[in-house]
Amino acid sequence: MDLSVLNDRQREAVECLEGPLLVLAGAGSGKTKVLTYRIANLVEHGVRPWNILALTFTNKAAQEMRERASALIGSDADEAWVTTFHSCCVRILRIDCDKIGYERSFTIYDDADQLKIIGDILKNMGISDKAAPKRVIKENISNAKNKSLDVKRYIQENYSDDGITEKVFEQYQRRLMAANAFDFDDLLVKTIELFEQCPEVLEKYQNRFKYVLVDEYQDTNMPQYRFVEMLCRKHGNLCVVGDDDQSIYGWRGADIRNILADIKNILSFEKDFEGAKVVRLEQNYRSTKYILDAANAVISHNSGRKPKTLWTAQEGGDPIERYSADNERDEAAFIARKILQGVQQGASYGDFAILYRTNAQSRVIESTLVNYGIPHKVFGGVRFYQRKEIADIMAYLRAIANPDDDVAFSRIINVPRRGIGDKTIDELAAAAEKSGQSMLVTALSGEGLPPKIEQKLKGIVDLMSELMAQSALMPLSDFAKYLVDKIEYQAYLISEDKKGDALMRMDNISELIGNIKEIERDVPEGESALSVFLESVALVSDIDSLDESEGAVALMTLHSAKGLEFPVVFMAGMEENVFPTRRARGDMSTGALEEERRLCYVGITRARQKLYLVNAQTRSIFGETTINRPSRFLEEIPQELMKDDRPKRVIPSEYERPAKPEVTYASMQGFGMKPPKRTPYSQRTEPTKPKLNVEYVPLMRIRHDKFGDGTIIDVSGTGGSMTVTVDFDIGGKKRFAAAYAPLYPITDE
């Protein structure tokens, strides 16, 4: 293996094979390269791939690491576990969860499933969602698990709701166990519980995984930290790669103190693993010097960090472009114009990413991209597997795989409609609770059910009996087709269709079956294709579907962009109260502002070649229009690294313009002034056309006497019949007769 492709610091990390190693890897410094070369070097020095475990946070990152490792050591890489934390824990639980009272056919509940259970519990307690929002309770339970706290202690330390969360939590965990299900947080919590209660199981995995590697170590929460520490306790061969400057998940329990050495209460890596070696990777291979200097300047304002400075050997690059928009529509139009200009110059739509602090910001941007005809994909919206039609079919598959899954069975008991009312379902649920069995098992057995209820349930009982039998007789993809036909789901969608999207929904189901076929090909021998498929779906993330070759602009939050890179990046909403958020500005003591700054650092370092920083002087969000000053993060970037892309808008002298041009709303907004009163229609005069013959073209910036500034997005017709469609910064799209409209080109000085 040729190690000459590594720089000195990378090589130092790769050649340190024994003992604990902390690699502080700045953004774009080649951390994945270091991890994969380290795996290859371990194998070259006689370590069996079987004895190597590499952990990361996303399926996309794990896949990339597996592919790179395979390129270096061939098929031997398949023997190593290169996977996410949660996938690793699922594999362990599938083998040994029976030792803590679960069956191996367990289900993994998503957010919707969790909210359904919590909602049912609150309803049974006679508590309204307004008095105790189920989403808040869900987050409290999740936060407690991510901090390795029992709920009682967490509530005492963080939240007061008259004990409601504690009471719900107890019932919630009982419901999960009765359903033979884990929520996402439980995958780690229950694996740790398994290790603690069954030392022989822990020892088995300690003996197997003699070398453990962890990517993005700064994002580990307490259960992840404990999981790794327990595995490495015997051999001590732990290599972690992380960057405290990219710790952005404090809200879900991640703690950079797992890296930092000067914080009390939480032991640091260097203290926990005596004799740990530290290697710093500071050479960046991703971004230009302008971008790196901006990132270094911003992050230097944080105090709780290990000093490091990114640098690059690359020469050249463009300054960062800053644009101060009038409002969010102007912001979006600017971004759209720059994308189209880039494409006209040879770039692909897939080269561009638009990043924002919250999903709420995407609405105007997305609608503007639609207006400009720019292909795009929004990450963080409704996920594919959360769509109703997909969730319905998935619920059937889940109930077949795990008959104890009450949440899944409750969803499909009357889908398609089969005349089963709420009263029947309530009686079935009561009988199930009395017998200590699930609703489906109770329905199948008829135990404790009155004859009248049994009769009403006969249809679903016969159906599920047949489906469960057939599922064992045919390949999973064929069974999925059979299932859809058997329940006459297309007819159901058509009967329920109010938006005219029944056929589109069936296309989604076809895509689902296609996904099943892909997973079917790689099912390990002896394992159930249905279990493998359900597991893969439960662990998928939105970003896993990102494909740069799709030729679409990517829209996502700054959090979602972690670990990704793009040739061109737009960071929108660079304003106080938006980024950093109002909450972070008022919460200095908790380090929230420093985490916002780390998030800004992450956003900046996603860009390889070009970075745009955009703010709006006024913004309407959540129904409220505010005037915000530019983000402090903009002020922290040296001005010599940026150029202002805001054009000075001038009406050329060769065009006639009114002696007293009307003050437009666009020119007044942001200063608390109201738009002028409109002239009554009877008093209006026909607008005059500039004397010069103007050639209108798409993307031309123009000014209208009444509507202000805008961008031409379409020109159609010729001569006197020509029409021009303009997307105004204030007021949206309008269409004009080109021969009469007072449209004046705006030029840059």
Three-class DSSP category at 521: coil
Q: Is 215 part of the annotated catalytic residue set? A: yes
Q: Which of 120, 166, 186, 216 is catalytic?
A: 216
Contact 597, 633 (CB under 8 A): yes
Residue 658 tokens read as: 């009114």
The one-character DSSP state at 166 is H
Q: Is 525 part of the annotated catalytic residue set? A: no
Q: Which of 9, 10, 31, 619 is catalytic?
A: 31
Measured from the Cβ of residue 385, the count of other Cβ atoms closer than 10 Å reads 16
Q: Can you tell me the distance from the alpha carbon of 16 to that of 8, in angstroms, rounded to the nearest whole number?
A: 12
Contact 288, 28 (CB under 8 A): no
| Distance set, CA 186 to CA 89, 203, 595 (Å) | 10, 21, 26
Contact 185, 108 (CB under 8 A): no
| Distance set, CA 467 to CA 388, 396, 464, 528, 623 (Å) | 21, 9, 5, 16, 48
Q: Can you tell me the distance from the alpha carbon of 227 to that of 148, in angstroms, rounded to the nearest whole number?
A: 11
Q: Which of 120, 215, 331, 366 is catalytic?
A: 215
Q: Which of 10, 246, 557, 609 is catalytic?
A: 246
Q: Is 31 part of the annotated catalytic residue set? A: yes
Contact 363, 725 (CB under 8 A): no
Contact 78, 372 (CB under 8 A): no
Q: Can you tell me the distance from the alpha carbon of 505 to that of 718, in angstroms, rounded to the nearest whole number?
A: 41
Q: Which of 11, 12, 32, 544 is catalytic?
A: 32
Query: Which phi and psi angles does 725 have, rounded to 5°?
Result: -100, 125
Residue that has been written with the tokens 């006639």 in this structure = 656
Q: Is 220 part of the annotated catalytic residue set? A: no
Q: Which of 606, 619, 701, 703 is catalytic?
A: 606
Q: Can you tell me the distance from the alpha carbon of 318 to that of 295, in angstroms, rounded to the nearest whole number?
A: 15
| Cα-Cα end-to-end distance for the chain | 56
Residue that has been written with the tokens 């490495």 in this structure = 232
Residue 314 tokens read as: 């690359």
Residue numbers annotated as active site: 31-32, 215-216, 246, 606
